[in-house]
Amino acid sequence: MKKFVTKLVSAAAVAATLLSVPMSAGAASHYQYGDIDHDGCIDSADASQALCLVGQTVTFKSTGKPVKNEVYYADVDGDGVITKKDAQMILHYYAVIGGEQNPLGDVNEDGTVNVADVILVNRWNSSDKKHKSGNGLKINLINANVDRNSVVDDNDSELIMEYALEIIDEF
Ligand SMILES: [Ca+2]
Ligand SMILES: [Ca+2]
Ligand SMILES: [Ca+2]
Ligand SMILES: [Ca+2]
């Protein structure tokens, strides 16, 4: 168990290093899914903050567009409400990113990146019920946001397609 924890901590340390390097160049100017405290890293602090937000719901403007606040970016499973599952997904990402099981692109969390993930991102992008319960989509928005900007959009699905087709070998 101790060995596992040590491995986990070192994987997390690697992840923090990997994630913090580009961010020091000013990339933290945007939010991304899972980075609730907006410091450019998706880490255990974000998971803790997500737990503090449990029960809060994504709010919508009169136009129907969501308010892009910390709750919006904490709702990484896109069901419109913050639950422990969102916090767990953030913590899981932090634990495995940088390791051999890089989760980026595995949008449906089945362990592989393939066309099913591309289809899921496309369905999310074309859904008018984004971040609302009832959209029926089981999606991991951290894993979907492969270009690590502030949105999950067609660029992400194109990159995931290229990865699935082995045109690119990393995100
Ligand atoms: Ca953060
Ligand atoms: Ca949620
Ligand atoms: Ca998958
Ligand atoms: Ca993106």
Q: Domain limits of the chain?
A: 2-164
Ion ligand 4, residues whose Cβ is below 5 A away: 145, 147, 149, 156
The 10s digit of each residue's pLDDT in 23-78 is: 444 445 688 999 999 999 999 999 999 999 999 999 999 998 999 999 999 999 99
Alpha-carbon torsion angle 151, 155, 157, 159, nearest 10: -120
Task: Report pLDDT for 156.
Answer: 98
CB atoms within 10 A of CB 167: 9
Ligand nearest to the CA of 151: 4
Ligand 4 centre distance from Cα of residue 131 (Å): 16
Q: Please report how many Cα atoms fall inside a 13 Å half-sphere around the Cα of residue 131, on the Cβ side.
A: 23
Question: Which ligand is nearest to the Cα of residue 81, counting in written order?
Answer: 2
**36 CA → ligand 1 middle, Å:** 6
**Closest ligand to the CA of 39:** 1
pLDDT (tens digit per residue) in 75-110:
999 999 999 999 999 999 999 887 777 899 999 999
3-class SS letters over the chain: CHHHHHHHHHHHHHHHHHHHHHHCCCHHHCCCCCCCCCCCCCCHHHHHHHHHCCCCECCECCCCCECCCHHHHHCCCCCCECCHHHHHHHHHHHHHCCCCCCCCCCCCCCCCCCHHHHHHHHHHHHCCCCCCCCCCCCCCHHHHCCCCCCCCCHHHHHHHHHHHCCCCCCC
Summarised one tens digit per residue, pLDDT across range 125-169 is 999 888 998 888 999 999 999 999 999 999 999 999 999 999 999
* Whether 7 contacts 38, CB under 8 Å: no
Ligand approaching nearest to the C-alpha of 34: 1
